[in-house]
A = this chain, B = another copy of it.
Amino acid sequence: MASRKSAPMRSREPAPKPQIRIMFRKAIAMGPGKADLLEAIEQTGSISAAARKMRMSYRRAWLLVDTMNQCFAKPLVATATGGSHGGGAQITDFGRDVLRRYREMDSAASAAVARQVTEFTRLMSRSPQQ
């Protein structure tokens, strides 16, 4: 038998949804994961707390923030070391603007294909793969 690595595992219901990814050269400047991370940083006030909330390693979260900050004209996240709580991170006004624009694009794209996605779903498999 083949290794079947590509076979879809049963995990959750089919949820076809368009994804918006803003590419900058070879890097993903903004996408679903980075947008969620930005919101988590805004809510928690630090990269490490956001990472814990999103169940990812601090290193990965830091790299995602680093990529975002480098891809855009100005930082989306401002960080500080030391202080009463050891430091922290906050989303900048510029970052809030980028996030808002991204969410708007995501909504617009989803709305534009909503009906087609529904029709598409009917074409997909129902029986569990062996």
Contacts and interface: CB of A to CB of B under 8 A. Distances in A.
A8 B21 contact: no
B123 A73 contact: yes
A27 to B, nearest CB: 3
A27 B15 CA distance: 11
Main secondary structure of the interface of A (DSSP, over half): mixed
Central interface residue in A6, A9, A111, by most chain B CB within 10 Å: A6
Contacts of A5: 63
A76 to B, nearest CB: 10
Contacts of A109: 18, 109, 112-113
A89 interface: no
Given A27-B7, A109-B112, A112-B109, A18 B17 contact: no
Contacts of A6: 27, 63-64, 66-67
A105 B126 contact: no
A18 B19 CA distance: 7
Given A2-B66, A18-B21, 16 more contacts: A4-B66, A6-B66, A7-B27, A7-B70, A8-B29, A8-B70, A11-B25, A16-B29, A24-B125, A73-B125, A97-B123, A98-B120, A98-B123, A104-B116, A108-B116, A109-B109
